């Protein structure tokens, strides 16, 4: 069975499948903590929600990119990717805390594109720091 996992095609398919499942799970968790419904807002054409959600997707994917590159087993990759996601989630709460003059979720739901863009940049930018830290 060891030879099976050493095949690059098998490892690529396994990494892809696992990360897609983790991405869906982590986006569902983000959906629970935000005060707006992503799919409803996206259907309305809310660009701020699209930017914030896109940043979350890129951030999570980037964290897993580092996790895949630095860990040999699927379980270790999932573990470090999950830790990275938790840190990204903490960053989301810190962003909300550091903006006491307005509620980030409300501004994004109201299609405030400036807040959506900053949310995007925070998610993607911090994913590089988180990723580099989970080596």
**What are the residue boundaries of the structural domains of the chain, listed by start?**
2-133
pLDDT of residue 1: 59
pLDDT digits (tens, 9 = 90+) for 68-113: 999 888 999 999 999 999 999 999 999 999 999 999 999 999 999 9
Q: Is 65 helix (H, G, I), strand (E, B) or coil?
A: helix
pLDDT digits (tens, 9 = 90+) for 22-79: 999 999 999 999 989 999 999 999 999 999 999 999 999 999 999 999 988 899 999 9
In angstroms, rounded to a whole number, what is the distance separating the alpha carbons of residues 61 and 124?
Answer: 9
- The pTM assigned to this predicted structure is 0.90
The residue assigned the tokens 């405030």 is 112
């Amino acid at each position: 069975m060891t030879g099976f996992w050493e095949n690059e095609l098998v490892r690529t398919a396994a990494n892809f499948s696992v990360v897609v499942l983790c991405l869906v799970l982590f986006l569902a968790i983000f959906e629970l903590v935000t005060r707006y419904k992503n799919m409803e807002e996206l259907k309305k054409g809310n660009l701020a929600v699209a930017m914030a959600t896109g940043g979350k997707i890129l951030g999570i994917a980037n964290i897993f990119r580092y996790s895949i590159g630095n860990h040999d087993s699927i379980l270790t990759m999932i573990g470090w990717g999950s830790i990275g996601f938790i840190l990204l989630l903490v960053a989301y709460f810190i962003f909300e805390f550091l903006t006491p003059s307005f509620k980030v979720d409300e501004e994004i739901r109201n299609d405030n594109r400036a807040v959506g863009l900053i949310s995007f940049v925070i998610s993607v930018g911090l994913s590089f720091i988180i990723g580099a830290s989970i080596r």
